[in-house]
Structure formats: structure tokens, C-alpha cells
Amino acid sequence: MSFGRCLTSASSINQYSYCPLIKTLKTLLGISRQSYFSSCAHLAVKPFAGFSSITGSLPLLLPSAFGYSIARAVYGGNSLFFPQARGLATTIVVNRKQLYSALLPSSLALSVSPGVIQKAHLSICNSKSISIGERNSDIKHMAPLADNNIPKNYGRTDVQLSKQLIYCNGPLLDAVQQSKMFHDCKHFVDMPLKLDPSSTLEDWQNLVNSGKLDDMSLRMFIEKHFDEPGGELDEIQPIDFNPDFSFDNIACPSYRQWAKELHQKWPMLCRKVSDRVLAEPQRFSLIVLPKPFVVPGGRFREMYYWDSFFTMKGLLASKMYQTVRGMIENMGHLVDQFGYIPNGNRVYYLNRSQPPLLTWCLYSYYEASGDKDFLLAGMKWLEKELQFFQSKKSIQLPGIPSLLYRYHVITDGPRPESYREDVETAMYIEDVVEKKRLWGDIAAAAESGRDFSSRWFSNEGPEAGKMGSTRTSSILPVDLNAIICGNWSLMAKLYIILGDKEKSQLCWKNFEAMRKAIYQVFWNEERGCWFDYDIANRRHVDVYQDTNFFPLFTGCTHDGFDSTVVVNYMERIGALGYPGGLPSSLVTSGQQWDFPNAWAPTTWVVIQGLRAHGKHELAFQIANKWIRKNYDIWLCTGGRMFEKYNVASECIRALGGGGEYDVQEGFGWTNGVILDLLVTYGSQLSYSPKEKVLVCGCCHSGDKLECKLQ
């Protein structure tokens, strides 16, 4: 057998029954008495190399413990096969009847003796082999662990496994989220445990076994075992925060005062991991980070990956270099731990990343600070992240000189933080495989940062134009490929600064290959713009998105490129005619990344891209509209900033809407982008109050709007 050191002696069980993984397995299987194990031949555990290996006989006739499984072992005659093995979860099926299902911390190996279906040998180990009698066969199609809900180097202890079963999948999560106990599904998965995870799961299983599970007992269970969210992070004043920062280069008095007030918000949004999390991390869904960081605000109480870059632009405008460096160190810490940066520092975000902007972060920090020592230390993180995207998110199209990239997530269930929404979206699907495919594409849309948008929807089928038609993994996105192409260029420049010409040349080679690929795959000569590419239908998605213009900023344009052609496209489709700025799309879908909303990050990228190609007047026009929109609402809401805005309306209160949750206040990346733009255009900007405050009819339905315009 190729499973590592496995103990098979029945006499060994008492010696090793103290192992916490035994306790976890008992909880998983609903077994509470040691005698049950003894009566089923043998089960023994012995730790090795930081991991545990188990072998033993378990009866096949076990109740189904979990409905969300990935690997399915089907017994047929004297053989086993895995239709969709993933190395994370296991289901035993005999005669097409599911008899046992449970989440496992690593890959699965099963052994069934010929002619015997009463028992199966279960082995949990770091292996990708199935043992069938005396024969071994590799599972060639088994996906790497990092593609699954539990990434590499994570979930290899019973504590982390138990946390996954509480916060990421399993019957407890399903029961709470489906009960509608909390208005926002994210509320529950952010709640800290009062006990350790294994004890919580054991108490849960006891409640289930009692037959007394109802709404009241479920609520009492949650009150007994969970605390309210929010206490795992402490508000902290950054050590480099200067309360008297002046922004003297901003000529307009109104905007200069606004910049000062936005600057004062940094301490309100800066957090550090609390001491109680450091003391007992097993009780929290939060992933520990070593340095303070800025959160977006509202329901988003943790660090978010691509948000952080745009927040950093504002921090750099405030000269808060140490805070920015610390946030980059946090990102590097995550890369060291997982091989990539998750969507956010929560365990339920570990199956996906976000747009890979770590290279942008380090480059911007070096440009502002000149910190060459930190630059040298950080390059390994940039390389490792690109390797992750090459390994997990890339495809090779025939005749194309470079890998191309897509957002792609393999998952076995709904997103924990939006559980009910995902269950409802997939209600119309009966096929389990297709249901999981949809959930994966929904998670991939969240990985894109644009959750959600008609950009990811199909225009065909019964769910056309709706969330149920999400097909993110079938789309090659312009922005993701432009980002990675630009990352090669930035890394080439950084290696020159560090004196490593060999690595610089390699990065330039990759940049040039990808630049050509972007022209071949995404550029539409007739339309004069880049478009997403539909892999399944082998055609452009000829629809306006503000992400279509990312190659302008990242420098991934083709030889002979004329930016006037792209500007003409913007004018021709009417994207430039809105009073508040550039809309995310021109499709009215009810999703938050569609018309009439605009967002700070993509607005900033388009502005910078136009500036890079000499279109300074248009860049300023878009920036001026966006700044004015933000400031008008700031004044009329008593000094509040938001994550998105309705740019199609001149209404003074036109916040953005749509999506799965209420518009959020804070707001990290909005503040960051505004501060950066105010500093960039400080000498050009002016503000005069409107003679008449424009308020749409719906705003008159409540109390009279009182708005002070300076």
C-alpha cells in the first residue's frame, strides 16, 4: 500500500485513541462510544510528518453525514472508481445508494476486498492512489488540493477540519443559514465560537441525535455556542497617522477640507487582530494577520485583497508608508501560508482569490517610499502568486503564444457568507453536478471582484440574463489578463532596480508574449476596443464593460495602437454622457456591478489608463465628475462615503443599489481613490455649489431633505 505509515493492529486502538482526529471522526459519523469502534474490527491513528494517517475497517452501512461531497466512490464488482475525485470529501455509494459521506482533510484512499461489500478500509493520508486488492492505480484526473475548499497547507488538523465543518460546509451551517435566523448570511459565519470547534460539533451532533431540533432549539444552540461578530478585531490608530496632515497642494478650499476629513477616517477603519484571537485562533473564522490593516467598512470587517490596493493609494496620499508596508506584509504572510492571497482573511474565503494586485501594491509602495530593502524581500511573493495563477487559473488556447487566465473556483456547495442566496439561485437545477458547477461559477464571479454583473450571465436558456445562468469560468476576462500581463512588466522593472537582469529579461519575455496574446484574443479591430472572450462559443462578448479598458493602464497594447480609437468607442456607445462618471456597464440587470452604478476601483483604472496614453482632458473630465458625485453625497449625508454610486442620476442622493446586500458605508477603497485623485488633480479642481439641489421624486417620500452646500 502507498499510504504512508498506517497501523492495522487492533490492539493499537487504545494506545492511539487519544488522538483528537479520532474524536473528530466520531463526531462526523455520529459515533459516541469507543466500543462501537472496537466492534468494527480496528481503527488506529498515528501522527507522522505533521499529519495523521488512519487505516481501519468501518461498516459501509453508515448514515449519510453530509450532503455536500466531492469525491464519490462507487463499488462495482471488484473495482472502485471516482467520477469526480477532488481529494477533499468522500462519499461511499453501493448499488447507487449513498451510504456514507463525510469531509476529509486530505486525499482519499479506499480498499475493498473482492466479493466483500460489508466493510471498507478507510485511509486518510497524503496520497493520490486507490488500492484495489493488490493493485494500485493513480487517479490522473484528481485536482490539486489548492483548487478545493481546503487549500494546500490548510485543514490538515482536526481543529481546522472542524472549523471548516462549522463555517464552510456541513449540516450545522445549512441549518442555521436556511433557518433565516440572521438577515445577512455573513453574520453567522463571522460569529466566534464560545467553545473549541470539536466540542461545538459534538454538542451539535447530540442535539441532532436527540430528535429535538427545531427553530427554538437551534436558536438556543447558537446563543449558547456563539458570540456576536465584530469583537475579533480592535480599532487602532496607525502609528504613522498624522492628524494635522494639510494637503496643501489641493487648491480648492472645499476639496482641501474634504481631504482632511477623509484623512481623519483612517483610524476609524484601521484594525488589528485582537489578543483573544491570537490566544485561541481555533474559535474564530478570522485568519490571523500579523500587522494592522484597513478594512472597507460596513459588513466587510476583514481585509479584502483587491480592495486593499485602492485603499493603499489613499494611504500613500496621506504619507502613511508604514501602514501600507504592513498591509503588504500581511499579503505576503498569506502567500507564505497558502501560496496565494484569499478573497479575504476568513476561512470561508479560502477557496478563491481576487484580482492579483499584489504587484501593483509593492510597485506603488516602492515608488512612494524608495524602500529598496523591502522591495527585495517582497519579490518572492510576487513570483509565488503568479505561479499560483499559472497553475490554477490558466488555459492555453491553440496558436496563442501565452497562457491566458480566467476566474475559476471548484466548490462543493454555496458560498457560506451568501448561503441562502446561492441555494435559491440553484433551486431550478436538479442535476447535482450542474448545481455544483453553478455554485463554482458564482464563487468565481466573487473572485473577479465584480459580484455580481450581467457580464457573467448567459443570454441563452431558461435563466438567461439571471444569476442562474452564471458561467464565469467560460469567460476569459480582459481585466484579469491585462492585470497579469502588466504584472510581468512591473516585475521586469523592479528586477532592473534590484540589479537582476536575468530575471528582468525573463519577465519582459513573458510580458511581450502575453501582450501579443491579448491583441490576438481580446482586441476587436472593427469595434475599436478589447472585449471578454467566450471560450465555449469562441467569440468576443461584444458588450461594454468599464473593465474593457484595463490594457490602457497596464500597458498591454499592441504595436501601432492608437488610443483615439478606444475613446471613439466610448463616445459612440454613449458611456461618456453620464453626469456622475463612467458606469460599470450599460445593462440594467439589478446587479450592483451593472448600470447605473459606478465604482471607485475601475473608475481609477480607466482614468489612469487614459492619462498614460495622453488623453488628459478626458481623464480629467471623468475624474471631475466622479469627485463631484462623491462630494455632493458626502455633504448631503452628513459626511458619509459609500462603496458605489448611481452615476446616471443627477439626484443629490443617488447612491448605488442592487445586489445581495444594502449599500455599505465606509468606505476604504472609495476614500483611497478620492484622496489619490484629489492629490493628482489638486491644482485643477474647483467646486461651486449648485444653484438648485436636484432631488428625484422618490427622495421626497420621506422627511424633507436638508442639505448644506458649502
Catalytic (active-site) positions = 451, 643
Cell numbers of 401, please?
A: 503564444
Using alpha carbons, list the distances in angstroms from residue 638 to 300, 510, 625, 651, 708: 22, 49, 20, 16, 9
Radius of gyration of the chain (CA): 27
Taking 50 as the pLDDT cut, the residues of the chain under it are 1-157, 661, 691-692, 700-710
Helix (H, G, I), strand (E, B) or coil at 220: helix
**Cβ-contact 130, 1 below 8 angstroms:** no
- Distance CA(351)–CA(410), nearest Å, equals 7
Asked whether residue 627 is assigned to any structural domain, the reply reads: yes
Domain enclosing residue 699, as ranges: 574-710
**Cβ-contact 120, 60 below 8 angstroms:** yes
Give the pLDDT of residue 381.
99
Q: What is the mean pLDDT of the chain?
A: 80
- Distance CA(177)–CA(325), nearest Å, equals 38
Question: Which residues have CB under 8 Å from 53's CB, separation 6+?
Answer: 3, 4, 5, 6, 45, 46, 123, 124, 125
Cell 467569440 -> residue = 539
Helices 215-225 and 171-178 cross at an angle (nearest 10°) of: 110
The residue ranges of DSSP E strands in 568-649, in sequence order, are: 597-599, 644-646
Strands 475-476, 523-524: parallel, antiparallel or unpaired by DSSP? unpaired
**Cβ-contact 18, 158 below 8 angstroms:** no
User: How big, in percent rounded to 5, are the helix, strand and coil portions of the chain?
Assistant: 45, 15, 45
Asked whether residue 351 is assigned to any structural domain, the reply reads: no
**Cβ-contact 464, 458 below 8 angstroms:** yes
Asked whether residue 404 is assigned to any structural domain, the reply reads: no
Using alpha carbons, list the distances in angstroms from residue 500 to 147, 373, 623: 33, 14, 38
Asked whether residue 564 is assigned to any structural domain, the reply reads: no
- Distance CA(592)–CA(172), nearest Å, equals 30
Q: What's the distance, CA 441 to chain centroid?
A: 12
**Cβ-contact 103, 165 below 8 angstroms:** yes
Asked whether residue 694 is assigned to any structural domain, the reply reads: yes
**Cβ-contact 570, 531 below 8 angstroms:** no
Closest to 408 (Cα-Cα) out of 395, 425, 423? 395
Give the pLDDT of residue 677.
99
Give the pLDDT of residue 408.
98
Taking CB atoms within 8 Å and a gap of at least 24, the contacts of 319-323 are 319/240, 319/242, 319/245, 320/238, 320/240, 320/241, 320/266, 321/240, 321/365, 321/368, 321/369, 321/371, 322/238, 322/239, 322/240, 323/238, 323/239, 323/240, 323/241, 323/266, 323/270, 323/292, 323/294
- Provide the 10 A C-beta neighbour count for residue 653: 18
Asked whether residue 578 is assigned to any structural domain, the reply reads: yes
Number of domains into which the chain is organized: 3
Per residue in 1-31, pLDDT tens? 222 222 222 223 233 232 333 343 344 444 3
pTM of the model as a whole: 0.79
Per residue in 602-624, pLDDT tens? 999 999 999 999 999 999 999 99
Asked whether residue 537 is assigned to any structural domain, the reply reads: no
Cell 492571497 -> residue = 341
Q: 393: exposed, middle or buried (C-beta count within 10 Å: 0-12, 13-18, 19+)? A: buried
Give the pLDDT of residue 654.
72
Cell numbers of 394, please?
A: 490558466
What letter does residue 286 receive in the DSSP assignment?
Answer: B
What letter does residue 467 receive in the DSSP assignment?
Answer: G
Q: Among residues 144, 167, 182, which one ends one of the domains?
A: 144
Residue 640 has φ and ψ, to the nearest 5°, of -120, 145
- Distance CA(466)–CA(484), nearest Å, equals 29
Give the pLDDT of residue 569.
99
Beta bridge partners of 71: 90
Give the pLDDT of residue 237.
96
Strands 529-530, 523-524: parallel, antiparallel or unpaired by DSSP? antiparallel
Residue 314 has φ and ψ, to the nearest 5°, of -70, -40
Q: Among residues 455, 472, 489, which one ends one of the domains?
A: 472
Per residue in 257-306, pLDDT tens? 999 999 999 999 999 999 999 999 999 999 999 999 999 988 889 999 99
Q: Among residues 118, 144, 170, which one ends one of the domains?
A: 144
Q: In what order do the strands lie in the sheet with 539-540?
A: 475-476, 533-534, 539-540
Single-letter residue type at 27: T
Q: Are residues 708 and 579 part of one domain?
A: yes
Asked whether residue 623 is assigned to any structural domain, the reply reads: yes
